[in-house]
Structure 1
């Protein structure tokens, strides 16, 4: 069971919102209305850990270890939303999300395969680590810079926790788990070929609600994310390369395979898919 170890690990690294955020260093001249609006959108996006946790608990009823870990992950993710909202409450209260705006991102996700979902959220944590690091560098106001730095470090730790559950899944499920992780890893590492940055919050998760079934589509400004990334914090190719490199390095270690490029990952994925298909092939009834 990983939960006791991960609880202790994250408890030691936990920051205190009152003591560890330098609230008294706020400089209002360094915070624009445009920036305050992006903080609001990120606060609402972080609130979507609520429906994500409900999804994880529903789809992992078979796994009490992972479900217990959700108690820590959910706490820390909601703390992220709270820290951003507290910043706005103190310094730009007119930009604080309303309860209705927060509740709008709570909706049911369709059931999904647990292994694929685990990998999807691992990649999401890798991406958020870099998004928030970039955001911290973009801002010049000291308090929000510190908040985004804490958030980035938390997301990196969460990614490490998910990775340990992925290792456990490989021990339990072998190539079935490897195939699932490689498939989603290829998708998430290929964001440069897509029209949008791939992250769990902008993927469709409820067929009946389509197209209003992504977290981003339910924000007050559904188009803010692309503008935030491309025009504001300028999450450009070198930053994207850090995301892709992080996914490939971790998968390389996880699979004990040299995976330095997306092409290598795709070849490995195809080999795994063929292996899993052969392993689970049904006997010919005529034999």
Structure 2
């Protein structure tokens, strides 16, 4: 089982919202209304770990090890939402999300293949690590800069945990797992082709609720994410390359291959598909 060691490792790295965030360093002159609103939107987005956890537990009923790990992931993701809300409660109480705004992002996700979902969320953690790192640089107020840096580090650890479950899946299922991971890796590393950044929170997950079946579509401002990325934190080509590079490096290590480009990964995916009779 992976859960016991993951619990021990993540427990050692856990930070305290009361003791490790330098609340007394807040500088009101360095927080704008625009910046505070982005904190609110990220707090609501992080709350969507709730329906994601419900999905994971439903779709992994035969995997108690991974389901147990969800207890850590869910706790830490909800803590992310909470620390962002605590920041607003202390310094911009008018911006604290309402319970209704939080509840709006709790909706049922359609069942999906567990391997593909695992890879999707691994890539989401890789992307969020970089988004929050860039957000920390963009903000000018020192406390929220520290918070985003802290969250970025957490997301990187979560990605590492997902990677361990991906490695276990390959050991158990071989090319079935490799093909699932390569397919979703291609999708998530191809944001330039799709014209938008791909992340679990902006993908459609409930056909009966379409088009209001993404987490982002249920935010107070559904267009917020693109504006935050493009105009505010300016998550440009250099930063996107870090996301793509992280996905390719990890898959290279996982598969024992060398993927320098997305095209390399696509060729490998096609080889696996042909071998599986899915070409």
- TM-score norm. by structure 1 comes to 0.96
Distance 1:89 1:196 in 2: 32
Distance 2:101 2:22 in 1: 28
Report what 1:172 is aligned to. Answer: 172
Distance 2:119 2:76 in 1: 19
Q: Which runs of 4+ in 1 moved over 6 A?
A: none
Distance 1:213 1:262 in 2: 28
**1:202-234 deviation digits (Å, cap 9, x = unpaired):** 000000000000000000000000000010000
Report what 1:73 is aligned to. Answer: 73
Q: Secondary structure at the match of 1:213?
A: coil
Shift of 1:277: 2.1
Distance 2:230 2:47 in 1: 23
> For residues 52-201 of structure 1, what are the structure 2 equivalents within 5 Å?
52-201=52-201
**1:27-79 deviation digits (Å, cap 9, x = unpaired):** 01000000000000000000000000000000000100000000000000000
Q: Secondary structure at the match of 1:72?
A: helix
Distance 2:223 2:196 in 1: 11
Q: Which has the larger radius of gyration?
A: 1
Root-mean-square deviation (Å): 0.9
Q: How many residues align?
A: 279
Distance 1:105 1:125 in 2: 19
Query: Where do 5+ consecutive residues of structure 1 fail to align?
Result: 279-287
Distance 1:36 1:198 in 2: 24
Q: Secondary structure at the match of 1:277?
A: coil
Report what 1:46 is aligned to. Answer: 46
Distance 1:275 1:161 in 2: 29
**1:151-177 deviation digits (Å, cap 9, x = unpaired):** 000000000000000000000100000
Q: Note if 1:217 corresponds to 2:202.
A: no
Distance 1:7 1:150 in 2: 19
Distance 1:191 1:130 in 2: 14
Q: Secondary structure at the match of 2:127?
A: helix
Report what 1:21 is aligned to. Answer: 21
Shift of 1:193: 1.1
Distance 2:36 2:141 in 1: 11
Distance 2:160 2:276 in 1: 26
Report what 1:30 is aligned to. Answer: 30
Distance 1:269 1:179 in 2: 6
Distance 2:29 2:229 in 1: 23
Distance 1:195 1:51 in 2: 26
Query: Where do 5+ consecutive residues of structure 2 fail to align?
Result: none
- TM-score norm. by structure 2 comes to 0.99
